[in-house]
Amino acid sequence: MDNQSKHDELSGVYNRRRFIQMMSTVTTGSVLLAACGGSDNQPLTKTTHVNTLSQKDARATLDASVGKTYFPSDDPNVLDAYTAPPPLIQSVQYVPGHGGKVTAFTISFHPAPTPYGQNKYWRELNKRLNVDWQVMLGPSDTYPEKATALLASGDVPDIFYVGLDGAPALITPVKQGAFTDLTPYLSESARKQFPNLAKIGPDAWKNSSRFGKIFGVPRPRSTAGEVLCIRRDWMQKVGITDPKNLDEFFKMAQEIQKAKPDGQQTWAFGSISPTRDFFYQMYRLPNKWGMQNGKLTYYIEMPQFKDAIATVKRFWDAGLFHPDSFTATQAQNKSDHASGKFAAYVDGFTALSGQRANAKKINPKADVVILPPFGYDGGAAVHWKGGGYYGVASIPIQKGGDSGRVKELLRILDYLCAPTFSVEGQFLALGIDGWDNEKGPNGLKKVSDRGQNEIQDMAYIANAPQVLYYPDEPPLGPALQNTQRQLLKMGIDDPTTNLVSETARLQSAKLSQIDSDHFLRIIKGDEPVSAGVDQWIKDRQQSGGDKVRQEFTQQL
């Protein structure tokens, strides 16, 4: 394909015939959900009031539970915590849609839902949104190809999920203006007209923007980055529960391995690739990019990097990493950690609760916690913050010419971002009471098998900020909130998070391979640390690294 053809494909100049041809391929392995047609537009009207406490009474009840069952965050980027569910509120006061058809495309991690004719949840969702909701689900493993092909077709849905991390090729259409600039609608003051969208934290809005514009509604996630999940019960067995420097950490790892705390051979750490970031944070390295002497500097170029990677090698040479640590997948990491094959592995902040539960199924005494980083020398460490979002829900430019239509679509997204403890949020997550859900042993509702089949990823294109609430282990919510505060206190951002480097995109595979190859050779002793790092820096700079720096610097 020549350059002009590539440009045309990304610019979406294919005709209707091309779209039909493309759809015969795209719908293999994905599903196009279609319902009956909608009605003509109608004036914006208030929703029917549901049987809940008034806003005033719900607020009073919530205020009375502060410090008891409700632990509100004093930081918009820290998650609220609960030990018991509060009274439900009604978060949406106006009917979102005007009765017509609304199409959407989003990434999916589950099978196709029950077809419309047999799906009560879908029909109820249409009723509550007051639209004919049609959503195409792109399976996660083929999302990049399907997203690019669908955008190229020229016949695009009203709402389009854009995940640049998974589909970096989409940055070109974003730059070319393929999506509506939502800044006038969603600036900090303007988004107040969408109360649920206004609850999304500032980091998510800032980090999801590109080219100085808000081009989609971010799907909020914890701003805490990846963390070290470790067996605290094993740390207690060897008497080192609070290592404060590198030597204590090394001794703790050795003692755990010697002790065989669950009566079997174990190692200190799982996969070496993500675990190394914990060591880098101990050495206060920047979050990928940082400033040194006024110059944007990649973390391997920092003077302390040689000491940091030498420390990782020291732990490897001591046999403290699992033998499969260079090849294991994250799924294997989680499974092996839960079964007691090693003490610690790196995962996302909110993954801890699930990992605790998995480990307790195998050993009820297992106590998996987050170990925040500490300075290698006993001083302060840093924590590499995450972006605070996972993709955005955008409105293609073809659909954004009418401001009334844009606001309608944003009201729909506002509904889909309803808080967890709201009437709308409970419906989105749990479906129709008595049909899609059932009460568990603790009296709380849970999705039934039928509900799972009906709900799936129907509304996954947007979501509310997460909350820390674990009905099977209520104290975990406030504990994790405190941990998140601790992490963010030492947290540092990647200053290039919402910047775009064309060279980084085009050379990403080559640069990643350089990073991987040099790291592997240094750790295994095929390259000496100092000379190996020097060559690593040189290879990276000459293969586009300096050009990436230049492009980022221009934008900064």
17-49 pLDDT, tens digit per residue, is: 222 232 233 333 334 444 433 333 445 577 766
pLDDT given for residue 401 in this prediction: 80
Q: What is the CATH number of domain 227-384?
A: 3.40.190.10
Check whether 52 has a pLDDT greater than 80. Answer: no
In this prediction, residue 308 has a pLDDT band, given cuts at 50, 70 and 90, of: very high
Is there a contact between 224 and 487 (Cβ–Cβ < 8 Å)? yes
Instruction: Check residues 462 and 34 and name the one with the higher pLDDT.
Output: 462
pLDDT digits (tens, 9 = 90+) for 499-511: 999 999 889 899 9
Q: How far apart are the C-alpha atoms of 334 and 546, rounded to whole Å?
A: 37
326, amino acid identity: F
Nearest alpha-carbon partner for 117 in 201, 44, 33, 53: 33
In this prediction, residue 166 has a pLDDT band, given cuts at 50, 70 and 90, of: confident
Is there a contact between 269 and 325 (Cβ–Cβ < 8 Å)? yes
DSSP H or E stretch at residue 279 = helix 272-282
Nearest alpha-carbon partner for 178 in 7, 331, 314: 7
Place of tokens 């990677």: 309
Is there a contact between 257 and 318 (Cβ–Cβ < 8 Å)? no
pLDDT digits (tens, 9 = 90+) for 69-117: 999 998 888 999 999 999 888 899 899 999 999 999 999 999 999 999 9
Is there a contact between 94 and 44 (Cβ–Cβ < 8 Å)? yes
pLDDT given for residue 33 in this prediction: 47
Is there a contact between 342 and 269 (Cβ–Cβ < 8 Å)? yes
In Å, how far from its chain's centre is CA 448?
A: 26
pLDDT given for residue 10 in this prediction: 28
Rounded to 5°, the CA angle 38-39-45 comes to 110
* Close Cβ partners of 128 (under 8 Å, ≥ 6 residues apart): 415, 424, 427
pLDDT given for residue 6 in this prediction: 29
User: What value does the mean pLDDT of the chain take?
Assistant: 89
Check whether 242 has a pLDDT greater than 80. Answer: yes
pLDDT given for residue 170 in this prediction: 92
For residue 103, the cross-strand partners are 134
Span 387-393, average pLDDT? 95
pLDDT digits (tens, 9 = 90+) for 317-356: 999 999 999 999 999 999 999 999 999 999 999 999 999 9
Place of tokens 């005007």: 98
- Phi-psi category of 469—alpha, beta or left, where left has phi over 0 and alpha has psi -120 to 50? beta
* Close Cβ partners of 453 (under 8 Å, ≥ 6 residues apart): 113, 114
pLDDT digits (tens, 9 = 90+) for 424-441: 999 999 999 999 999 887
Classify residue 443 as exposed, middle or buried by CB count within 10 Å of its CB (0-12, 13-18, 19+).
exposed
SS3 of residue 500 by DSSP: coil
Nearest alpha-carbon partner for 99 in 425, 412, 400, 401: 412
pLDDT given for residue 16 in this prediction: 28
In Å, how far from its chain's centre is CA 339?
A: 26
SS3 of residue 297 by DSSP: strand
Q: Which long-range contacts (CB under 8 A, 24 or more apart) does 531-536 make?
A: 533/300, 533/305, 533/306, 533/309, 536/300
Length of the chain counted residue by residue: 556
Rounded to 5°, the CA angle 476-244-79 comes to 30
* Close Cβ partners of 532 (under 8 Å, ≥ 6 residues apart): 518, 521, 522
Is there a contact between 44 and 95 (Cβ–Cβ < 8 Å)? yes
Rounded to 5°, the CA angle 98-100-106 comes to 105
Check whether 516 has a pLDDT greater than 80. Answer: yes
Share of the chain above pLDDT 90, in %: 79
pLDDT given for residue 76 in this prediction: 87
Q: How far apart are the C-alpha atoms of 227 and 235, rounded to whole Å?
A: 17
CATH domain 3-223+388-489 topology: D-Maltodextrin-Binding Protein; domain 2 (3.40.190)
Nearest alpha-carbon partner for 174 in 148, 207, 210: 210
pLDDT given for residue 424 in this prediction: 95
Rounded to 5°, the CA angle 477-482-485 comes to 125
Residue 79's CB is within 10 A of a number of other CB atoms, namely 25
Q: How far apart are the C-alpha atoms of 168 and 502, rounded to whole Å?
A: 10
Check whether 479 has a pLDDT greater than 60. Answer: yes
Is there a contact between 79 and 203 (Cβ–Cβ < 8 Å)? no
Q: How far apart are the C-alpha atoms of 451 and 439, rounded to whole Å?
A: 13
H-helix segments, 490-544 = 502-506, 508-523, 529-540
Is there a contact between 159 and 409 (Cβ–Cβ < 8 Å)? yes
Span 293-298, average pLDDT? 92
For residue 491, the cross-strand partners are 383
| Residue spans per domain, the chain | 3-223+388-489, 227-384, 502-556
For residue 246, the cross-strand partners are none
Q: How far apart are the C-alpha atoms of 367 and 360, rounded to whole Å?
A: 8
DSSP H or E stretch at residue 392 = strand 389-394
pLDDT given for residue 335 in this prediction: 95
Question: What is the rounded end-to-end Cα distance, in angstroms, of the chain?
Answer: 34
Classify residue 538 as exposed, middle or buried by CB count within 10 Å of its CB (0-12, 13-18, 19+).
exposed
In Å, how far from its chain's centre is CA 206?
A: 15
